[in-house]
Amino acid sequence: MTDDKALTPRSEDFSAWYNEVVQRAELADHSPVRGSMVIRPWGYGIWENMQRALDDMFKETGHENAYFPLLIPMSFIEREKEHVEGFKPELAVVTHAGGKELDEPLVVRPTSETVIYAMYAKWVQSYRDLPILLNQWANVIRWELRTRLFLRTSEFLWQEGHTAHATDEEAQEETLRMLGVYRRFMEEWIAMPVVTGLKSDSEKFAGAVRTYTCEAMMQDLRALQAGTSHHLGQNFSRQFDLTFQTEHGEEEYAWNTSWGVSTRLVGAMVMTHGDDAGIVVPPKLAPVQVVIVPIYRKEDQRAAVVEKAEELKTRLGEQGMRVRVDDRDHLNPGAKFYEWERKGVPFRIEVGPRDLEKGQVVLVKRVTAEGEDRKEFLPEGQAVAELSARLDAFQKELLERARARRETHSHRGAGSIEEVGEILDSSGGFVYTGWSGDPSVEERIKAETKATLRCIPDPDFRSETPPERCVGGERATSEVLWARAY
RNA sequence: CGGGACGUGGCGCAGUCCGGUAGCGCACUGCAAUGGGGUUGCAGGGGUCGCCGGUUCGAAUCCGGCCGUCCCGACCA
């Protein structure tokens, strides 16, 4: 446990704030191995809630879970040309086992396309075997040079969905369906608005035909890629002989998709909602949604107050809320308040002797808007009746707050590369412009402004009047989103 | 992987220049009081000074190598 009372304010040094808050909220810690992390119970609890929600959504869209092995033959990774080029530098390779050098090195999976499609090839003969709709929850390793807890670590946890379809159209539909699932999850559960869209060729997944992305804006106004969904075409099918016989008797290669989100989402949540007091966990993800802090002086008071706290916990728990009574005796109430705020618990209830007399409780929301009372004194019955609805309302407030911030910092109508740079330097955020599709414009923006092409936004996010000119000067064929990114 | 900074009880640091065997604050343990926003008092415990090697009668301190963390750049869920 650390002693420093206050965190570095976000305005002073956002990345110092992030590093401190992740550790002091007890989300994660550095492991003895460079670049990898230990996810602590509070952080893992949040991840488990994310997993559960996503897993339900995957099941609802017809997917099943399976598990494929950690180790992949080197030759598999090497089979798809772009894929191997994309991953080669960050592979961890097992060369020795059982005290001997292996005949063929084994790669610790950086992602599982190759094994999975090799297996699908064994399982699929006819169009009747399609589609295959599988997902796996797994760890992967990518040897990163520069790491940060949750945002980029050498080992991370994620889910990877892998599907095989009889037609291009069906695979395309699946790719977009799962992108939509991600968007809904990020908005409804993380309370994090995203811009969805298509990646440019230079930013797409190594081995994909098309990559779609969810891009979120963090509080330092940088973009974070929060999830991706790939249409893999027949690239992997061809390399792994994933063929099937059509209803007309012809042999064809299957069409694949893959899609994933990772523990990076925990970092995204921290950078979307956290404040100078700590992290803020949206109610739907919070391992503890309501913490009850008993207040007392004498022993007899303590017994009465803790009994009331336990009773409240039971009554709220019966409504499905996750509640904890903090009856630790060696900390005074103030210390508990600070601790649970740092950990982002949405609501706190204080119960003391005075409340017992009056039949009331004190309710405190983790984030209060300007002008809103910090502490509310509510009749006990009202608090019990309303808390569930208040959690829902808080969840919505967080989303709206984040959306408003993103809109405030989204800029449309920039006409030149210089203008893009000026906007990024003066205010930062998302910049929408026209684009001709010319990769050299992308390179110039990157070189001159450090911003990257985050995506070609989906219709929901495009400007009302499409830009006519590319920032490079030519005629625009699409609208794109630029930002400095993580 | 290049440039820079740092590494001393759990955390934050002083001591390093000028070598003489380790200190401060917080945290932790015990007791008592306190308890509605980080509570006091008293009494305690805990450190092969990142690791390995060298110089020296003697190394936290000087030298070499390695490892790790952070910041800045090139690559990335």
List of A residues 316-335 with CB within 7 A of strand B: 329-335
Sign of CA dihedral A369, A394, A214, A42: positive
| CA–C1' A18–B44 (A) | 37
pLDDT computed for residue A200 by the predictor: 94
How is domain A290-390 classified at the architecture level of CATH?
3-Layer(aba) Sandwich (3.40)
**Does residue A144 reach within 7 angstroms of strand B, measured from its CB?**
yes
pLDDT computed for residue A1 by the predictor: 36
Superfamily for the A410-483 domain: C-terminal domain of ProRS (3.30.110.30)
List of A residues 389-448 with CB within 7 A of strand B: none
Backbone angles phi, psi at A376, to 5 degrees: -115, 135
Label residues A80-105 b or e (16+ Cβ within 10 Å = b).
beebbebbeeebeeeeeeeeeeeeeb
Report the pLDDT averaged over residues A197-209. 93
A192: which 2 tokens? 């994090």
Q: Residues A376, A317: contact at Cβ < 8 Å?
A: no
| CA–C1' A396–B33 (A) | 46
Residue A99 or residue A396, greater confidence: A396
**Does residue A354 reach within 7 angstroms of strand B, measured from its CB?**
yes
Q: To the nearest whole number, what is the mean pLDDT of chain A? A: 93
Backbone angles phi, psi at A162, to 5 degrees: -135, 120
The tens digit of pLDDT for each residue in A65-82 reads 999 999 999 999 999 888
| CA–C1' A240–B74 (A) | 34
Tokens 């960050």 -> residue:
A90
Shortest CA distance to A246 belongs to which of A129, A363, A411?
A: A129
Q: What is the ipTM of this complex?
A: 0.84
| CA–C1' A252–B77 (A) | 31
List of A residues 280-319 with CB within 7 A of strand B: 295-297, 302
Nearest nt (C1') from A293 Cα: B36
pLDDT computed for residue A3 by the predictor: 47
The tens digit of pLDDT for each residue in A7-27 reads 888 888 888 888 889 988 999
| CA–C1' A330–B17 (A) | 45
- Upstream peptide bond of A131 is cis (omega within 30 degrees of 0): yes
**Does residue A475 reach within 7 angstroms of strand B, measured from its CB?**
no
Shortest CA distance to A174 belongs to which of A67, A255, A53?
A: A255
Q: How many CB atoms lie within 10 A of CB A366?
A: 24
**Does residue A369 reach within 7 angstroms of strand B, measured from its CB?**
no
**Most confidently predicted of A92-101, A294-303, A304-313, A436-445:** A304-313
The tens digit of pLDDT for each residue in A126-144 reads 999 999 999 999 999 998 8
Sign of CA dihedral A60, A403, A192, A373: negative
A421: which 2 tokens? 């740079």
A471: which 2 tokens? 């920032």
pLDDT computed for residue A4 by the predictor: 56
Nearest nt (C1') from A333 Cα: B35
CA distance A471 to A473: 5
The tens digit of pLDDT for each residue in A410-460 reads 999 899 999 999 999 888 899 999 999 999 999 899 888 889 999 999 999
The tens digit of pLDDT for each residue in A23-36 reads 889 998 888 777 88
**Does residue A202 reach within 7 angstroms of strand B, measured from its CB?**
no
Report the pLDDT averaged over residues A140-153. 88
| CA–C1' A14–B15 (A) | 32
pLDDT computed for residue A2 by the predictor: 43
For residue A170, what is the enclosing H or E element?
helix A168-188
Answer whether residue A123 shows pLDDT above 90: yes
| CA–C1' A23–B9 (A) | 20
**Does residue A248 reach within 7 angstroms of strand B, measured from its CB?**
no
CA distance A469 to A434: 5
List of E strands, A124-183: 132-141, 155-165
Following DSSP, what letter does each residue of A79-122 receive, concatenated?
A: HSHHHHHHHGGG-EEEEEETTEEEEEEEEEPS--HHHHHHHHHH
pLDDT computed for residue A459 by the predictor: 97
CA distance A316 to A318: 5
Chain B positions with any atom < 7 A from a protein CB: 1, 10-12, 25-29, 34-39, 67-77
**Does residue A372 reach within 7 angstroms of strand B, measured from its CB?**
no
**Does residue A362 reach within 7 angstroms of strand B, measured from its CB?**
yes
Look up residue A72 and give its amino acid.
Answer: I
| CA–C1' A18–B59 (A) | 38
Give whole-number Cα distances, A286 to A139, A279, A347, A348, in Å: 23, 11, 10, 13
Q: Residue A10, SS3? A: coil
If pLDDT is split at 50, 70 and 90, which confidence band does A407 have? very high
Fold topology of A14-273: BirA Bifunctional Protein; domain 2 (3.30.930)
pLDDT computed for residue A238 by the predictor: 96
Report the pLDDT averaged over residues A337-341. 93
Q: Residues A481, A197: contact at Cβ < 8 Å?
A: yes
Residue A5 or residue A354, greater confidence: A354
Strand order in the sheet with A100-108: A71-73, A100-108, A92-97
Per-domain boundaries in chain A: 14-273, 290-390, 410-483
Q: Do domains A14-273 and A410-483 have the same CATH topology?
A: no
Following DSSP, what letter does each residue of A372-390 receive, concatenated?
A: S-SEEEEEHHHHHHHHHHH
Nearest nt (C1') from A353 Cα: B36
